[in-house]
């Protein structure tokens, strides 16, 4: 179980093994916080980043360089319409527009939480698979994360145990809302899937076997992962349906169910064969931050902020324990309609069985120590039918809007642009009576939102005029509001719309804007050249002086930069390649210049020439 409030555990799990570097990867999530995705590439760089306030962290030079270096090597598949609106306007989001692939399923939801990462070192390839219950959001809930490492095998035949994982990764582009998915997305999924078939993954310590369980693939015959359920069973799930609980626990005599107080109260009856009910003890639930608590518009989002969000199933068959973990709740939707991913771990009962979780131990804090009995809560809080009906109406329209394949058509040049939110031919948008819809580009304030209108193919459903170049983005915020009798509800989310007619060079604009201060640029250059984990001199990113007092170097000496360039040439010449790429991007700006210190090219050009001559393919 993850420690509540430990946001950096996922980043720790994304870090490459010693001596390896990140090559490319794929992630999946149901809900998405764009700022969390903004931070994810930071895990691949090993920058020695000091703690900062939340907003300052997103503006850090470390984040900017990790985005520039790795954002195009990472693809994230998410449920369309479940991306939260950023709390401020961050131009860095331009770097991840192509990384986000919105998905949908005709019936059910795209709900897996899986990461597949490829690391390389001197020709060898390692893979890391993360199977989580947590979405890619900033949350303080209790979750699970399973980390599996494997090495690509030199063999002709596939590893049978890895085939289900490979099939799942290969199928991901087929769930994209906009078909066909981008060529690069399909190619990445196919390439990773081909190698995953040849990769053997070892179970974690204490377990002897593992089984991958993709759920909801059209080409794969659906089978329940719960093949062997003994008489004892533990179900941990934040969301429940009686029918599915009873199906899983049908043959048991001692079943323990752990969930949230709200979800237990909503049950229409006590599920058969469940003897004990628990919730998290209030003392171990984290207090949600006010800034995030205000965004919780549903039970699902409230649970994700601070309560139990783990999905875990544990049973015993003879001397063997089976543990399933991943994304699937104990609901009919999860196993019958959704796209999910689970991993089954099998090991000796004495080491990984139910007693290790549910029997108190004086010398250890076990799962049972975090729980409070909740038998009296079951089926005691029926839902308000008006709230249920309104939520269903809004959620159905959210899915309709997310699947409408909207586009953002851009017209203009220079510093002034108009955008039309366009409904393509063959699509329609019908807004139900009682609902109102607004939208706005995420790079402008909410107050700039305009109403979204009903329409049929080949028309604009919203329009914006005289936007600046900096306001152009593919991330558009939508807000749906409704009322039914005394019930009222508003949901807000982001859709990633294709930008048609957008000017080239927006990423370069972001770089130039964020590095237009000479001191900030110089610190950025040294950050690129410094060793991984090496602090870079020069103070914070806010332009404050470090005592150097000279604008020419803004606190950095020419000798210091020259020394770092020579050291990089000798010890890590690939850093010079990153620097060359950055300078090319900066010089592609509209004025073709960059705020480099006087004499920089005289130092840089001979070093670059030597690097080109001695690199593979260079002129010796």
Is residue 462 within 8 Å of residue 468, measured between CB atoms? no
pLDDT of residue 46: 66
pLDDT of residue 388: 94
pTM for the model: 0.90
Is residue 134 within 8 Å of residue 145, measured between CB atoms? yes
Q: How do beta strands 21-29 and 74-79 pair? A: parallel
Q: 517: which residues sit within 8 A by CB, 6+ positions away? A: 543, 554, 595
Compute the distance between CA of residue 258 and CA of residue 264 in angstroms, rounded to an integer. 9
Is residue 263 within 8 Å of residue 238, measured between CB atoms? yes
Is residue 398 within 8 Å of residue 432, measured between CB atoms? no
pLDDT of residue 1: 38
Task: Name the token pair of 443.
Answer: 């790079």
Q: What's the Cα-to-Cα distance from 247 to each of 224, 242, 272, 354, rounded to whole Å?
A: 11, 9, 9, 20
> Scanning the structure block, which residue is given the tokens 């979750």?
143
Compute the distance between CA of residue 62 and CA of residue 60 in angstroms, rounded to an integer. 5
pLDDT of residue 444: 95
Compute the distance between CA of residue 61 and CA of residue 539 in angstroms, rounded to an integer. 12
Residue 399's CB is within 10 A of a number of other CB atoms, namely 17
Mean pLDDT by 10 residues, the chain (620 residues): 46 88 96 93 71 62 87 97 93 95 93 97 94 90 92 90 97 95 96 97 95 90 85 96 96 96 94 96 65 48 72 96 97 95 96 92 85 94 93 96 95 93 93 96 95 92 95 97 95 97 90 84 81 53 39 49 84 85 77 72 89 66
Compute the distance between CA of residue 97 and CA of residue 290 in angstroms, rounded to an integer. 28
b (16+ CB within 10 A) / e for 288-316: beeebeebeeebbbbbbbbbbbbbbbbbb
Compute the distance between CA of residue 299 and CA of residue 322 in angstroms, rounded to an integer. 30
Compute the distance between CA of residue 77 and CA of residue 31 in angstroms, rounded to an integer. 10
> Scanning the structure block, which residue is given the tokens 């900017």?
64
> Scanning the structure block, which residue is given the tokens 């304030």?
445
Residue 617's CB is within 10 A of a number of other CB atoms, namely 5
Residue 226's CB is within 10 A of a number of other CB atoms, namely 19
């Amino acid at each position: 179980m993850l420690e509540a409030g430990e946001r950096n555990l996922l980043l720790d799990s994304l870090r490459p093994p010693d001596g390896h570097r990140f090559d490319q990867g794929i992630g999946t999530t149901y809900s998405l916080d764009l700022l969390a995705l903004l931070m994810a590439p930071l895990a691949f760089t090993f920058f020695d980043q000091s703690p900062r306030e939340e907003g300052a962290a997103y503006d850090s030079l470390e984040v900017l360089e990790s985005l520039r270096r790795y954002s195009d090597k990472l693809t994230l598949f998410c449920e369309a319409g479940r991306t939260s609106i950023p709390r401020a306007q961050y131009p860095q989001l331009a770097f991840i527009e192509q990384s986000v692939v919105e998905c949908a399923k005709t019936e059910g939801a795209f709900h897996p939480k899986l990461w597949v990462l490829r690391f390389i070192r001197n020709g060898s390839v390692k893979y890391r698979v993360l199977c989580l219950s947590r979405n890619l959001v900033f949350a303080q809930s209790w979750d699970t994360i399973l980390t599996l490492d494997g090495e690509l095998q030199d063999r002709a035949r596939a590893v049978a145990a890895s085939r289900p994982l490979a099939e799942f990764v290969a199928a991901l582009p087929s769930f994209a809302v906009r078909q066909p998915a981008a060529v690069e997305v399909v190619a990445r999924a196919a390439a990773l899937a081909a190698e995953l078939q040849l990769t053997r993954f070892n179970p974690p310590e204490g377990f002897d076997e593992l089984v991958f369980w993709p759920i909801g693939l059209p080409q794969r015959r659906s089978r329940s992962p719960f093949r062997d359920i003994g008489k004892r069973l533990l179900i941990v799930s934040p969301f429940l349906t009686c029918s599915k609980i009873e199906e899983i626990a049908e043959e048991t005599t001692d079943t323990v169910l752990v969930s949230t107080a709200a979800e237990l109260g909503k049950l229409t009856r006590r599920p058969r064969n469940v003897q004990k009910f628990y919730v998290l003890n209030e003392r171990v639930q984290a207090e949600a931050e006010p800034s995030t608590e205000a965004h919780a518009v549903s039970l699902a989002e409230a649970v994700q902020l601070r309560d139990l969000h783990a999905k875990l199933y544990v049973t015993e068959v003879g001397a063997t324990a089976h543990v399933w973990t991943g994304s699937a709740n104990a609901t009919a939707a999860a196993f019958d309609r959704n796209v999910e991913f689970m991993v089954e771990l099998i090991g000796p009962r004495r080491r990984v069985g139910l007693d290790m979780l549910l029997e108190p131990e004086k010398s250890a804090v076990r799962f049972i120590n975090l729980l409070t009995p909740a038998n009296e809560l079951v089926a005691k809080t029926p839902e308000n039918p008006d709230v249920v009906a309104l939520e269903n109406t809004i959620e159905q329209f959210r899915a309709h809007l997310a699947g409408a394949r909207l586009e953002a058509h851009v017209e203009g040049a220079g510093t002034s642009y108009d955008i039309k939110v366009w409904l393509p031919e063959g699509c329609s948008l019908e807004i139900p009576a009682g609902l109102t819809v607004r939208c706005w580009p995420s790079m402008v304030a909410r107050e700039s939102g305009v109403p979204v209108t009903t329409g049929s193919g080949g028309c604009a459903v919203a329009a914006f005029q005289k936007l600046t170049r900096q306001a152009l983005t593919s991330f558009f915020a939508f807000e749906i509001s409704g009322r039914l009798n005394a019930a009222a509800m508003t949901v807000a989310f982001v859709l990633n719309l294709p930008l048609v007619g957008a000017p080239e060079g927006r990423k370069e604009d972001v770089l130039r804007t964020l590095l237009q201060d000479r001191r900030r640029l110089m610190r950025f250059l040294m950050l690129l050249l410094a060793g991984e984990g090496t602090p870079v001199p020069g103070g914070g990113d806010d332009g404050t002086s470090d005592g150097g007092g000279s604008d020419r170097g803004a606190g950095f000496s020419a000798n210091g930069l020259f020394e770092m360039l020579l050291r990089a040439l000798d010890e890590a010449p690939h850093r010079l390649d990153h620097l060359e790429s950055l300078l090319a991007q900066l010089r592609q700006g509209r004025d073709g210049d960059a705020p480099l210190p006087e004499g920089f090219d005289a130092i840089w050009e001979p070093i670059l020439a030597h690097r080109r001559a001695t690199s593979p393919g260079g002129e010796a």
